[in-house]
Chain A
């Protein structure tokens, strides 16, 4: 009997507003505890929330990007529960009427493209942080509360249970992450917690009714998301196969042990006593506002991917890789713009370089694109020398490394290091003659028909030229001189 895993994901994307959703306090990460908490954030008596329109604007942008419907009227509600890092004793969220309903995100799966439907996206405020460790010892083992995060705007994006494997769940989370950063509504820094996923996981016999689900909270990396889902599905399947049944509950993932464990069961679930927040009138959004946001929307990844294939002539695979990140494709465009020719050959050269050397160097250095020390114009300067055969692709890698190390632009490095490609036929002929004279046994093998031996001779010539000889010319001259 085969099992099917059914996964739905709730994502909390922190919106990139400068101030909080209901107060004027800053949302900047990393400030000293409680220095970015205003009277509203710490819930002094008498304070009131005022909605930040920037957060609404971002929610609308998201709704438009996923093809969802923007509710012209939505309602803020209070979710009531007591916790020390929840200053008001309730969280302001949207309950019955969210700002966005519907929409879909496209993901790539082994079986081709798949649309993951979205249920809704709603605005809410984040809570503060409880700190149970790392406090000064003189405080004597107490817990601390940092309210800097309290009131940070979140967009909670709820998917339908449309995913069938951990891989699909990760593909969805990555596509969503790419989209929210692409449209500029979320910084997407998962380490800082501004893109967090909760996974609802259930299992069923293929074709059967939906099983009982468990929710795994606060997965803040794609790897943890995959590990947690895989562990949880296995746990549920084993439980059922052993004659047990799954209990609906909230579970936590322990990354150190790679397992999920029970946090609270449905029976312990709190009654949040949602009701419309009387401090906030219903949020009304008119067509003109939506129209303004619509007309300022950037081209979306899927549209750009198709366009790059059609207009730039690069492969669909490369286009998909490039459009996986707004920053990456912006970099690609920056390099293209700085090149004189806008033909397919140039675009392919740029795509290969950005997805190859550039990506590899960035991975080695482990830096964000914004922190890469080489500008798109500098890369274009290098690729211009590859295109006009001043340097080979192999030498280009060394030049790029030198540029990364701050040694100057491509031309300066090529000149200073004498890396200019040798394309002078006479000079290459001299090198070839020298190699042929010194390797008589190999020459004999080539003449006997051993193609491998020919490659060895090419290698010898390139080595003698310190890799500067034009490889195509080396080939041609070797063949000619061997055929004498």
Chain B
């Protein structure tokens, strides 16, 4: 069920928040094989649900009151274990709420637990978690994408109607695509990063997963807003991201919309089924009134290497605080300070995190800084200029979210570059700070979901969401669910549009 449907049922007293939470806990327990959760807070969730039911009874309820959700375990949650899927923080209980966590609490949501992810959000498959890999609800042999794989899998498997995630280099959109749900990364600065355990500060963006664009809009509205504790948080008037969604359905609701199709997004190296599904989606958008224009993004081909300089550079510094001195893991045996640091970090961090710390340390080193970090920052600006030019000719940019559908667990773990290339289409939006989302637009013949990426200009979330919403009004990909057995047979078979 969508948030909208659940909220109506709660108001109609057809169910209660406590019932929803009990059902959620039962589904989570029955779906442990997916490994979507690192921590489940049954007692806390039931207490929040009881409070939500009282608010509902008083008629004192917000649109999200009583709705069970889960947060990616990268967000600090007061009194609840917050691990970042790392041994480093295996037993770390957060003493405060992240800003978006607090905002969603105030909005009345019920936090049922923390979702699994790539360690410190570094990965594209959710396989680097200290707590084991997350499995794709559509196929247990496949990854759900990453790094927010647990959040995506939890929604795809129907465990909760919505979750939060973070998107540093596609970490919301790519798992949304690989699990057949909606995921939105807003403009950088719209949601505060306070309480988000930093991976790459200039790229990290909180966002949301849900089944529908409408639910994403609802969640984003609750998460967005200025936060004086984050100097990169933007002070803008509150925005109703659903404002365009309510308009009456015309036969051609996207009349006048110019969709930009970057040649670079339809080049070789992309799975045939992915191209076919995306092209069908574009045809659907044109049928809704949109016109397609070709755009050029010549610098986007450098997005992955640029990202793999900037993100590790920032990460190498951001993760220095995990030193065993004040909190988190500390090695049991050491002779001196240096050995304490070395052992603590050798034991506390997994291989991918170490790889990125090493790369980041290298690119910031004396004598290499100009050639790598400064050069990457220059190309980053050129990529933003590409998009600025493209958005003079079009309103949104559309293409595949990822070049492939979900791949098998273990298939790319020994080839980091292949793994990194899965983010080839998503990374640019992080480098520019522009908003982007992924919505389901089809399946491969063996029923693995395919995602359509919709990118907007700065602060164009409402327009993006409207395009997604109009598409979802005439298609049914987002309504499909995997079978509970996660064997790959869709329960919604026959619902295809």
| A residues in contact (CB < 8 Å) with B | 39, 42-51, 78, 80, 82, 84, 87-90, 145, 271, 273-275, 278-281
Contacts and interface: CB of A to CB of B under 8 A. Distances in A.
B201 interface: yes
Contact of A90 (B229, B320, B327): B320
Interface stretch (B123-131, B191-199, B461-469): B191-199
Contacts of A48: 193-194, 229-232
Given A45-B84, A88-B321, A280 B231 contact: yes
B197 A279 contact: no
A59 B31 CA distance: 58
B320 A89 contact: yes
A275 B317 contact: yes
A273 to B, nearest CB: 4
B65 interface: no
B92 interface: yes
Nearest to A39: B96
B361 A273 contact: yes
Contact of B317 (A39, A42, A84, A89): A89
Which residue, A46, A145, A273, A281, has most C-beta atoms of chain B within 10 A? A46
Contacts of B82: 45
Nearest to B320: A89
Given A46-B195, A51-B231, A82-B320, A275 B364 contact: yes
A80 B462 CA distance: 40
A88 B327 contact: no
Interface string B55-67: 0000000000000
Which residue, A88, A90, A279, A281, has most C-beta atoms of chain B within 10 A? A279
Contacts of B76: 44-46
Contacts of B373: 275
B8 to A, nearest CB: 35
A279 to B, nearest CB: 5
A278 B376 CA distance: 14
B326 A87 contact: yes
Given A43-B321, A80-B364, A88-B320, A49 B195 contact: no
B320 A275 contact: no
A273 B314 CA distance: 11
B313 interface: yes
B365 A273 contact: yes
B323 A89 contact: yes
Contacts of A82: 320, 323, 341
A44 B314 contact: no
B351 interface: no
Interface of B: 75-76, 82, 84, 89, 92, 94-96, 98, 193-198, 200-202, 228-232, 313-314, 316-317, 319-323, 325-327, 337, 341, 361, 364-366, 369, 373
A45 B317 contact: no
Nearest to A85: B325
Contacts of B96: 39, 44
Q: State the main secondary structure of chain B at its contact with A.
A: loop
B18 to A, nearest CB: 30
A49 B316 CA distance: 18
Given A39-B95, A271-B365, A278-B314, A50 B320 contact: no
B89 A45 contact: yes
A50 B226 CA distance: 13
Contacts of B316: 80, 273
CB-based closest 3 A-B pairs: A89-B320, A273-B364, A278-B202
A149 to B, nearest CB: 15
A275 B369 contact: yes
Given A45-B76, A46-B195, A87-B326, A275 B313 contact: yes
A358 B366 CA distance: 56
A46 B194 contact: yes
B326 to A, nearest CB: 6
A50 B228 CA distance: 8
Given A42-B326, A48-B194, A48-B230, A80 B201 contact: no
B327 A44 contact: yes
A185 to B, nearest CB: 23
Nearest to B88: A45
A171 B476 CA distance: 80
A84 B344 CA distance: 13
Contacts of A43: 321, 326
A46 B317 contact: no
B92 A45 contact: yes
Nearest to B101: A46
A87 B321 contact: yes
14 contacts: A44-B76, A44-B95, A45-B82, A45-B92, A46-B195, A46-B197, A47-B229, A50-B229, A50-B230, A84-B323, A87-B326, A90-B320, A271-B365, A279-B198
A278 B205 CA distance: 13
Given A42-B326, A46-B197, A84-B325, A279 B231 contact: yes
Contacts of A45: 76, 82, 84, 89, 92, 94, 197-198, 321-322
Given A48-B193, A273-B365, A281 B231 contact: yes
Contacts of B326: 42-43, 87, 145
Contacts of A145: 325-326
A139 to B, nearest CB: 16
A319 B228 CA distance: 48
B206 to A, nearest CB: 11
A78 B317 contact: yes
A271 B89 contact: no
Contacts of A78: 317
